[in-house]
Structure 1
């Protein structure tokens, strides 16, 4: 008799849960296939090709995790499992994980901003508040810079997005600003003529806008001139160093003195 009651109970239990189990299995199968399709579509769709691959990969992973969470909650509801406590526990875990990974999440958000808004790209030379170098790699969490002396610097994206970034490669052309000092006895027009002549003879200097040379300051020991020329961004340092060297040679040939700081001391005899 007891055995019969047990069998009847199991039969009733299966009858009540059987359809729910079948429905849950179908939902799991269809939902999993749909989530995989969505993730693959995000990575391979030609409609999203303008979005950086790093952003697409992250969005696919994030969306996959979110959809799987929704899928399992739906299955639990179909099976009649109370979901209120489950959702509460999941939310609590999310808050705890978020606090523990606050720095990492900041880098993640920074990486997304960099990949979406593109303040710089691989190959650009940038200067931040803490370092500078050529961008060699951009990931979702950090950016890799290579300095002129071949040091490799890994910068968290959270730091980059909270810093002022100077991108020296954003434009095809850059302006070279140089300052030269001469003695007060030197002819102003002659100095300006030499500076402009040196600039115009340099093949890497762009002719438009035209080179600019003017007297800008009366210093304590010298007259200070500025020379401004434009060149291709890739030629910046070559033009900078070439002009400094050539101007010095031309000053020497034309007897233009370059003064050095000096101080006159007068001693009075105190009786």
Structure 2
């Protein structure tokens, strides 16, 4: 007993120092855990306010919390006297190995996070991305699912989408319909433009503002090309496009406005030898 008392008396300062380090490590762990939960919670609230899927938000929140807790544990262990350099080296090597093995999946994951956060499109939008045109069905963390107009399901890796241009046809409420109507050179140009204006005026789906444009676009080889550009609601785009073309053809046929097609004139010239 005397030996124990003597040992404690001689090493009192060292024991107090270690005890303080242990207490400090516990304080760091508790505060770090609270900070991790707070940061994760704030991030989840921010993402949920942007109508991001709850499962994805929970997944991202857990990743952020885990990273913070790893840093907190290393800080706490360093205060206790544990050499954390080797732990950091092991974690770095493991992270590098995992990153190299899963670099394709990690690229898709990072792209999925960017799509979810910045929301260049959402479910129900018609887009052109990754070389595919279709309606967005699902946005997942590694891939995006599109449905093409002919009802095919196409699964595109997210990295392929963010690696190129994304055209969102549904982002704006209105769209401009671009038509090129060719008439023959011997047709009445003013009459053709008046007929086109009348066709547009009779269609209630065409918006009055911005006003439709009917202008000469090109004097081509075999036709005078008229540019017809009305504005419609995005949902009416294809119906107006197809039906307007049909109305133009029927109306021009009734009114004698010729719509030329590619043709070639062949001139045969006889030689002097053939005449003899």
Q: Into which bin does the TM-score normalised by the smaller protein fall?
A: 0.7 to 0.9
Number of the residue aligned with 1:256: 257
1:9 maps to none
RMSD: 3.1
Say which SS state the counterpart of residue 177 (structure 2) adopts.
strand
- Cα deviation for residue 28 of structure 1 reads 11
Partner of residue 269, structure 1: 270
C-alpha contact (below 8 Å) 1:134/1:147 kept by paired residues: yes
Which residue pairs with 2:151 in the alignment? Answer: 150
Structure 1 residue aligned with 2:110: 109
Structure 2, unaligned runs of 5 or more: 1-14
**Cα deviations across residues 95-127 of structure 1 (Å, max 9, x unaligned)?**
121122222222222122222222112111111
CA displacement 1:156-180 (0-9 Å, x = unmatched): 1211112111111111000001011
More divergent stretch after superposition (177-186 vs 215-224) = 215-224
Q: For the residues of structure 2 that align with 1:26 and 1:223, how far apart are their CA atoms? A: 83
| Contact 2:29–2:73, Cα closer than 8 Å, also in 1 | no
Query: What does residue 215 of structure 2 align with?
Result: 214
- Correspondences of 1:10-49 after superposition (within 5 Å): 34=34, 37-38=37-38, 41-42=41-42, 45=45, 49=48
Deviation at 1:260, TM superposition (A): 1.6
SS, match of residue 210 in structure 1: coil
Question: In the alignment, is residue 165 of structure 1 matched against residue 143 of structure 2?
Answer: no
Cα offset for 1:57? 2.7
The CA distance in 2 between the partners of 1:74 and 1:176, in whole Å, is 62
What does 1:153-232 align with in structure 2 at a 5 Å threshold? 153-232=154-233
> Which structure 1 segments of 5+ residues have no match?
1-15
Give the TM-score, by structure 2 length: 0.80
How many aligned positions are there? Answer: 257
* Deviation of 1:136 (Å): 1.5
